[in-house]
Each structure stands twice: as C-alpha cells, then as structure tokens.
Amino acid sequence: MSNKSPERGSEDIEEYRAPEVTEPENEVVSFSELVGQTHAAAKLDPTAEPVLTVENLRMYFPVLSSGLIRRRIGDVQAVDGISFQVPKGGSLGLVGESGCGKSTTGRLITRLYKPTGGSMMFQDVDLAQLSNRELKPHRRNVQMIFQDPYTSLNPRQTVGSIVGAPMQVHNILPRDQIKARVQELLEVVGLSPEHYNRYPNEFSGGQRQRIGIARALTLNPSLLVADEPVSALDVSIQAQVVNLLQDIQNEFGVAFLFIAHDLAVVRHFCPEIAVMYLGKIVEIGDRDSIYSNAHHPYTQALLSAVPDIKQAVTGERRERIMLTGDVPSPIDPPSGCRFRTRCPIAQEICARHEPPLLQIGKRHKVACHFPGRLGEHPREPITARLLGVDTEGQPDPGSSPATDLVEQPGYADTWFDLDSKSIGRA
Ligand SMILES: Nc1ncnc2c1ncn2[C@@H]1O[C@H](COP(=O)(O)OP(=O)(O)OP(=O)(O)O)[C@@H](O)[C@H]1O
C-alpha cells in the first residue's frame, strides 16, 4: 500500500513539530458523513471461509473471599458460552454496553487470558487448548490493536523499537533489515519513516493509534482484534483511522474482530455484527438484519440511542427506548434470560428459561422468547414448543422438547422464518 493512504497528510504529519498537534473540537459532522466521504461501507463476502471459529467460549474470573485463607466463593461470568465465526479477510463487529464481556472476548482470542471453557479454532488449531509455550508460533497470527493510544505505547521507547520489537522477539527478520521494514510500515499507516526515532509523547492521539496499528501489523497477522480502536479519538480522526483500517484490510486481506460500543463505527466497518449482553450473544447477523431488522429488544434499545442510525435506518426519528435499571452483576446474573430484568416485554417464561439463539434468517440469529420487529413482538413465546414448556415456561408433559438446541457458530442452510412461520432455505 505504501504511502497512498488518502488521509495521509490530513493530520499534517510532515509539518508536525510540537507535541500538541491540534485535533478538531466541537465537531458537528457525524462519523457516518465523514467516513462515507472517501470509503464505502465494507461489504460481506458470503463465500468466505472462517478464519476463526469460536464455540461455547467461557471465561469465569474467580471471586475469592477476604481473609488469610482465600476461598473461591463465586465467579464473574464475564463470557458465558458464546459462539461465532470471523470470515477470512472480513470483519465481525462485537457491540454491547460496558461490562457485557466484549474486551474479555478479545483478550481470550489473543490468548491474553486462557478460557475457562470452549474452543477457538484458528487454522485447525484450537488456541484455547495450547500452553503458553505451544502458543508462541501462533501468536503472530492474531494481534491486537488497543483502545487507548496514550497508555498502550511505552513512553520510554522510540517508535522504531515499539514497532520493531515483535520482529525481534519472533525472529522473523535479520536485525539489519528491521529498520527498513519498520519504516515501510510507518508509511503504510500514513506516518513518515523519519518518525522512527521519535517518542510516543511527540504524537497526537490519532498518530499514536497509527503507531499501534503499525505494531499490530508487524508480524503480518491473519486476524486483528481491534478493541475500541477509535473510541479515544475525536470524531474526524476516528473516520481517518477507520478508513486506514479499511485500506489495510483491502491491501493485506487481514480479518478483524472489531469491538466497539459505537454502533455507527461498527455499521461502516463490519458487514456482520454480534450483540452481547452480560456475557452472552443475544443477536448476531449481517448488517441489514441488525441495523434494519433487529428482533431483540436489547439491540432495538441500543439502536434507538444513536440518532445517526435512527434516521439512516428508519428514515424518521424514532423514540429512544430507555432501558430501566442497571446492568446486573455477572457474579449473580438473572435466571433464564439475562436481559429480562431490564426488558420491556419480559414475561414469566423469561425468568424460567434461557432463550436459545435461534436462526431466524439466512444470516440472522436471535436469543429471545418473543423475537420481533419493534412493536411487533409476538404475544406468546415462540420457543415454548422447542423447550417443551407451556407459554409461562412450566413443563408441558405432552410436548417433546428439541434436543439439538446447542449453539453452533456460523449459520445453517435452513432457519425458522418468523413472518411465514415456516422453514426458510438458503
Ligand atoms: N480480570 C478480571 N477479573 C475479574 N473480573 C473481570 C476481569 N476483567 C473483566 N472483568 C469483569 O467481567 C465483566 C466483563 O468485562 P469486559 O471488560 O469484558 O466488558 P466490556 O464489554 O469490554 O466493557 P468495557 O467496554 O467497559 O471494557 C465485567 O463485569 C468486568 O468487571
């Protein structure tokens, strides 16, 4: 890609002198407008094979008692049985409120944490099972871009050593070739090769994030986990960095798990999106299914809070859906559906049974007993027969519950079409 990045120069990199590079204040233009000026939203390739397949992934952090003998008295169920795929060269967005388990998921995939359970298949290797020593040759394939460009770069190291260090650790280039490669990468991310000997505090937030991106690219990974990569940046810089990530994806074919709470950013970058709540995926699907056809009350509430999206998707202003109460503790999550304590349409069955993640479209799954478009949720649970219960969730002796409700990553060729109440086929 070299130095062809369209935003190169827009942060005034060549003339940059002082540490305090100005970034626009009081933005009135939205992210969607800015980002759309040069780059169209990323497209889904439905034929792409998965680069990563995650199945029933769990991360429980132990809660220990205080005192001399510290006993395990519970668990923070940060991630509790999630399944998804990231397509080769494509992007999956992971969204949800703070504390729902997004970052923990990213840290599991990069194996900063070892999962409590489940699998993470990457090129026929289950990353979840490997010891730290076994992981070393695989680490280079999955790299991370961190949220905060102010704390994720060591202030005492030069840009050259920050970006070059992974090459030394993994021994992928002779020492005398590392500098040239680092300078090439600096150009790829829209910085200047002369920045090699500078220190992070000499750069603005957007430029620091570019340094973090160069570092993540050093080992030529197949998958990048980007954890809120632009949320610390001003909106116009956000658009530049997201455009850069899109250029990098097109150029190098790298896949992204893109974690963000900003639904406008995710809509542009990710053709597929998973919505998390309290450690579970509650809805997952392609862009249209999530942004124009959400069936889970939680997704609908999240979308209603983003003016940019409300208008783009519905063509009109829609009332914001206010969620009542706080997010419950993941140490003692609600029984049944975890969202029920804040859900505007919850009924008795929701307290008794966890809703299975059901496929309701070609690339659309939802975990709700009453899934439906906003204002069109069914009165009776659609899941009762599957679970072998009555409409209130009490055992129904006459019914035969489904035995294959295990959550699978990816999509099946058939699904239950809620509109026609029949089986849909790909
Ligand atoms: N190392 C840890 N030990 C104990 N609990 C943790 C740990 N890391 C995260 N948690 C808890 O796990 C839950 C999920 O946290 P996580 O950071 O993954 O959520 P998130 O959706 O990324 O939120 P945010 O956007 O605020 O980072 C939270 O309740 C958090 O307090």
In this predicted structure, which of 78-92, 212-226, 410-424 has the lowest mean pLDDT? 410-424
Q: Is 334 in the pocket of ligand 1 (CB under 6 A)?
A: no
Q: Is 387 in the pocket of ligand 1 (CB under 6 A)?
A: no
- Asked which of 274, 293, 328 is the last residue of a domain, the reply is 274
Distance between CA atoms of residues 182 and 361, nearest Å: 45
Instruction: Supply the ipTM of this predicted assembly.
Output: 0.98
Domain count along the chain: 2
Note whether 367 and 296 are within 8 A (CB): yes
Atom of ligand 1 nearest to the CA of 76: 5
Q: Is 324 in the pocket of ligand 1 (CB under 6 A)?
A: no
For range 115-132, the mean pLDDT: 95
Which ranges constitute the DSSP H helices of 170-306?
175-188, 205-217, 235-252, 263-269, 287-291, 297-304
- The answer to whether residue 163 sits within a structural domain is yes
- CATH code, 213: 3.40.50.300
**pLDDT tens digits, residue range 243-278?**
999 999 999 999 999 999 889 889 999 999 999 999
**89 and 180 co-located in one domain:** yes
- The answer to whether residue 286 sits within a structural domain is no
**267 and 342 co-located in one domain:** no
- The answer to whether residue 304 sits within a structural domain is no
- The answer to whether residue 307 sits within a structural domain is no
- The answer to whether residue 201 sits within a structural domain is yes
Please indicate whether residue 362 or residue 232 has the higher confidence score (pLDDT).
Answer: 362
- Please tell me the distance between residue 232's alpha carbon and the centre of ligand 1 in angstroms: 18
Note whether 243 and 7 are within 8 A (CB): yes
Backbone dihedral angles phi then psi of residue 144, each to the nearest 5 degrees: -125, 140
Distance between CA atoms of residues 165 and 154, nearest Å: 12
Q: Is 77 in the pocket of ligand 1 (CB under 6 A)?
A: no
Residue 135 has pLDDT above 70, yes or no: yes
**82 and 197 co-located in one domain:** yes
Domain residue limits at 202 = 31-63+74-274
- Asked which of 249, 274, 299 is the last residue of a domain, the reply is 274
- Please tell me the distance between residue 250's alpha carbon and the centre of ligand 1 in angstroms: 32
What is the band of 6 on the pLDDT scale with cuts at 50, 70, 90?
very low
Give the tokens for residue 93: 């967005």
For range 98-123, the mean pLDDT: 95
